[in-house]
Amino acid sequence: MEFFVDTADVNEIRELAETGLLDGVTTNPSLIMKSGRDIMEVTKEICGIVDGPVSAEVTALDYEGMMREAAVLAKIADNICIKLPLTMDGLKACKALTSDGHKTNVTLCFSANQALLAAKAGATYISPFIGRLDDMAIDGMELIEDIRTIYDNYDFKTKILAASIRTVNHVKEAALIGADVATVPPSTLKALVKHPLTDKGIEGFLADWAKTGQKIGG
């Protein structure tokens, strides 16, 4: 599974990129607003930190507007992935952009039928929103499982990018089902490494080591 981080905070992105665990970044208008920075400036900086795809989202709702905005965003860097809404105009733009060689991320997916259409349109990534379905008492993991089955049935190349992830269990369950990518907040990615028994084991090892009076390399 690939890990993308869902943020426009360059400090968080830089910190995670240094671990070698980060494969890409997803942004959206809300995250850009939270950063307080110009979209072109912050997106260009992010693209310089990571080698993998950086999703930058259009805000237009009509096909012509999406294509105009996509042309601007695509010029930021070679690793830009154009993020599009799952509407008919969004799917039309997806088809046109992928045909021109651009990476695309079709977002706000809440049904298997929507995911099927995105794959037919040639989307590089489909972003089903797990957490928002869970908020409505609908099991978001069932959607991931349905999409995985459909894509495997027809050998679609579109990658399942599990989004709206709220917990470390969401990550585990998405990985077990076979999602290709998980995009997570920085805090969730950092939380994946934590376990109380790991902390307890380290504490015990250090206590025993201190009793030896030894030092490594000095």
pLDDT reported for residue 134? 87
What domains are there in the chain, each with its CATH number?
2-212 (3.20.20.70)
34, 44, 83, 95: which one is catalytic?
Answer: 83
Q: Respond yes or no: is residue 83 known to be catalytic.
A: yes
pLDDT for residue 214 is more than 70: yes
Helix, strand, coil tally for the chain in percent (to 5): 50, 20, 30
Helix (H, G, I), strand (E, B) or coil at 103: strand
CB 105 within 8 A of CB 79: no
Which residue from 148, 86, 89, 149 is spatially nearest to 118, judged by alpha carbons? Answer: 86
Tell me the pTM. Answer: 0.94
Mean pLDDT of the residues in the chain: 97
pLDDT for residue 218 is more than 90: no
First-last CA distance in the chain: 40
